[in-house]
Structure 1
Amino acid sequence: MRKSDLITNISDKTGIAKVDVLVSLETMLKEIKESLAKGENIYIRGFGSFITKKRAAKIGRNIKKNVAVEIPEHYIPAFKPSKEFISEVKEMHAKVNK
């Protein structure tokens, strides 16, 4: 499913105009990005958590030049689904695969 499909589905189910759904979705995604960039985690009960994970510094290798390269410590965004979300996905896949 693409973002446009998601917007269409939400619009069809709620009766809200696609433009309004698009603005809401874009605003939500922007807020998530900005919060994670500031180091703030986002917790959505029943869905999951958007968090930042710390990656330790390590030595990598530039294969073309055969040189060791130091990769500094950095943070990456991550999503951790809630237990409810995981169980719903498992149940749906179990029903589909029967």
Structure 2
Amino acid sequence: MTKSELIQRLAERNPHLYQRDIEKIVGTIFDEITEALARGDRVELRGFGAFSIKKRDARTGRNPRTGESVDVGEKCIPFFKTGKQLRERLNTD
């Protein structure tokens, strides 16, 4: 599901709200999650999951085209861990 599909589905389920307001709400939520992660904070949405940052150490990689060794610097990677309720809902038989 894309962001625009999410907005469209929310608009269909909430006909009393304007679509432009839903776009602002969804955008604000995503912006707040992004800003919190950029600060190094953890974002937890109970029942859904938690967003956090994992650091990858610097390492020596390999250029797949030439086989030459390349130094890869340290970087931060966003990480998502599903919540218990979401995991249970996905794995119902």
Q: Report if TM-score (shorter chain) is over 0.5.
A: yes
Residue number in structure 2 paired with 1:6? 6
Cα-to-partner distance string for 1:43-90 (whole Å, 9 max, x where unaligned): 111111011011122110123343211112211011111011110111
The number of aligned residues is 92
Cα distance in 2 for partners of 1:30, 1:84 equals 24
Cα distance in 1 for partners of 2:48, 2:65 equals 43
TM-score (normalizing by structure 1): 0.83
Q: Which structure 2 residues correspond to residues 1-98 of structure 1 after superposition, within 5 A?
A: 1-15=1-15, 16-91=17-92, 94=93
Cα distance in 2 for partners of 1:81, 1:70 equals 33
TM-score (normalizing by structure 2): 0.87
Residue identity (%): 35
Question: Which structure has greater helix proportion?
Answer: 1
Runs of 4+ in 1 over 3 A off after TM superposition: 63-66
Mean alpha-carbon deviation: is it higher for 2-11 or for 79-88?
2-11
Structure 1 unaligned regions, length at least 5: none
Secondary structure of the structure 1 residue equivalent to 2:47: coil
